[in-house]
């Protein structure tokens, strides 16, 4: 009788495969249970967005884009920090026994003022970026930025690695 076709060999091989499958499924389940604890998602301030593909930038244009992006982030960082601080103050005021609604309204107006400054800076930044492009590249850049704005909600703070006051 052939060894590979014997009933005992086939039974032992089948049992070993079942045990191995159950063990591997257990390991996968255990790994997923380990990961399901507290997960912190962070985004990098210097998150690289590649303009070279959709906009077809040259190497020197890409370097100029990165320089402009860094300058833009450096310009708006104080506004973001101020908004973060004011949101913390609003939160703190909200939990008082008698919150000062005038202070909350004033802080909300300040946040709006900072947001307006950031939007102006963003428009200027987009203008500066477009000046580096040829007319055909401008169309691609505009389409690319519209795509990003549609698919990334306006929570720019998360993109720039700032934390919510509700942490």
Question: Following DSSP, what letter does each residue of 119-155 receive, concatenated?
Answer: HHHHHHHHHHHHHTS-HHHHHHHHHHHHHHHHHS-S-
In whole angstroms, give the CA distance from residue 71 to residue 64. Answer: 11
Residue indicated by tokens 């939990």: 95
Q: Is residue 13 part of a domain?
A: no
Which CATH number fits the domain that encloses residue 73? Answer: 1.20.120
Q: Is residue 162 part of a domain?
A: no
Residue-wise pLDDT for 107-151, tens only, equals 999 999 999 999 999 999 989 988 888 888 888 888 888 887 777
How many CA atoms lie within 13 Å of 53's alpha carbon, on the beta-carbon side? 4
pLDDT computed for residue 79 by the predictor: 93
Q: Provide the residue range defining the domain that includes 142.
A: 58-157
pLDDT computed for residue 34 by the predictor: 65
Q: pTM higher than 0.75, yes or no?
A: no
In whole angstroms, give the CA distance from residue 145 to residue 55. Answer: 10
Q: Is residue 32 part of a domain?
A: no
Q: What percent of the chain has pLDDT over 70?
A: 75
pLDDT computed for residue 162 by the predictor: 47
Q: Is residue 27 part of a domain?
A: no
Q: Is residue 145 part of a domain?
A: yes
* Mean pLDDT value of segment 19-30: 93
Q: Is residue 102 part of a domain?
A: yes
In whole angstroms, give the CA distance from residue 146 to residue 65. Answer: 17
Q: Is residue 26 part of a domain?
A: no
pLDDT band of residue 51 (cuts 50, 70, 90) is: low
Q: Is residue 153 part of a domain?
A: yes
Number of domains, the chain? 1
pLDDT computed for residue 21 by the predictor: 96
């Amino acid at each position: 009788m052939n060894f590979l076709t014997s009933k005992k060999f086939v039974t032992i091989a089948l049992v070993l495969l079942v045990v191995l499958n159950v063990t591997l499924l257990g390991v996968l389940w255990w790994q997923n249970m380990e990961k399901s604890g507290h997960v912190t998602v962070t985004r990098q301030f210097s998150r690289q967005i590649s303009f070279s593909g959709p906009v077809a930038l040259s190497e020197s244009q890409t370097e100029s884009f990165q320089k402009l992006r860094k300058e833009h982030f450096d310009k708006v960082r104080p506004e973001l920090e101020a908004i973060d601080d004011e949101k913390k103050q609003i939160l703190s005021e909200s939990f008082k026994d008698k919150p000062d609604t005038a202070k909350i309204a004033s802080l909300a107006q300040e946040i709006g003022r900072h947001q307006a400054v950031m939007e102006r800076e963003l428009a200027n930044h987009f203008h500066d970026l477009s000046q580096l492009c040829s007319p055909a590249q401008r169309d691609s850049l505009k389409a690319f930025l519209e795509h990003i704005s549609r698919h990334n909600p306006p929570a720019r703070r998360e993109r720039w690695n700032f934390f919510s006051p509700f942490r």
